[in-house]
Amino acid sequence: MGNSSSRGRSKPRQGHGSKVAPSSPAGEQTIFKWSIDGFSSLIDKGAGWTYSRVFEAMGHNWCLKLNPRDKKSGDDKEYVSLRLELANSSVKPDTVVNASFKLLIYDQSFGKHSEHEVSHSFQTASTSSGIPWMISLRKLKKQPSTFLRNNGCVFGVEFLKVTTSKANTTSETLFVQKASIFNEAKTYTWDIEDFFALKNPGYSPEFEVGGYKWNIIMYPSRDGNHLSLYLKLKKTNDLPMDTANLVELTLYVKDQENGKHRKGTGRCQFAKNTRTWGWTKFISLEDFKDSGNGYLVKTKCCVVAEVAIVGSSKME
């Protein structure tokens, strides 16, 4: 997931006004230098990403991208952000490119470069990585500047190690049924005579929906401040490991005085390894015990579950 975002700029194929100087020193390390002349002109163009030309290194195609006027949320200061991107020609759906590299801003006077080491797994869902807010724009421009000389800046990437591996991909197919009398929701009501005598957690009696046994689970005080409610599938003996049931569920605590019930609704998948779904902070104990809300009348409360199996899924 990317940490930085471009600001309305389309993706160009090549950086504006740049010089490209790749080199391959001894060993596995490969360095790509990107010299940008007329850097002040690039700054004047405002925030947004400028891309280098695509270059080849360590058996893959890459490019650098630079935002000279990036900002942090809630911060008016401007920063230079630098990222490495795996080019589209090297992105394959079944391959992960694991790379360790350094991103650099070159000190053109004393060789005291600003460098940051990064490791990232490049793949279809994540093709770039880098350093947001690498250096403040003010610091970069402050004279005398060793990073900005004769209106030129030099950025780069030094590859330390690059390996490839097969992506371990899991896919799921979800089938959602059409509404019919066969998958209508069934309602179960759990009347609790003495809430204060309930165990933590407390379990409702079993009830059946869609050929499966279920329980409502209530934690009267799981974190000390909230009442928690869950629906639990009791047994999954006939459910294969790679399949699940899509369940539409509504759990609610009845308002016994005004009919303004407290509800939680969701569509969740129940499987052998996921048999419980619900809400940890369903309602605050303060609201639940407030006599004006009608949820707890003396010691009595009522919890309702509406459950329907509306689909199924299979993992591959």
The string of pLDDT tens digits covering residues 66-120 is 999 999 888 889 999 999 999 998 988 889 999 999 999 999 888 889 899 999 9
Here the CATH number for the domain that contains residue 188 is 2.60.210.10
Residue 208 — very low, low, confident or very high, per pLDDT cuts 50/70/90?
very high
Q: Domain range spanning residue 234?
A: 172-315
Query: 161 with 136, same domain?
Result: yes
Q: How far apart (Å, rounded) are the C-alpha atoms in residues 170 and 182?
A: 31
> Would you say residue 23 has pLDDT above 90?
no
**DSSP letter at 223?**
S
> Would you say residue 173 has pLDDT above 60?
yes
Q: Which residues contact 65 (CB under 8 A, 6 or more apart)?
A: 49, 50, 51, 52, 82, 83, 85, 128, 130
The model carries a pTM of: 0.53
Query: 92 with 148, same domain?
Result: yes
Only one residue has tokens 């991107």, namely: 85
Q: How far apart (Å, rounded) are the C-alpha atoms in residues 101 and 118?
A: 5
Residue 39 — very low, low, confident or very high, per pLDDT cuts 50/70/90?
very high
Count Cα neighbours of 242 within 13 Å in the Cβ-side half-sphere: 7
Query: 143 with 217, same domain?
Result: no
Please state the domain count of the chain.
2
Q: How far is CA 268 from the centre of its chain?
A: 19
Query: 67 with 106, same domain?
Result: yes
pLDDT in tens, 52-66: 999 999 999 999 999
Residue 51 within any structural domain of the chain: yes
Residue 13 within any structural domain of the chain: no
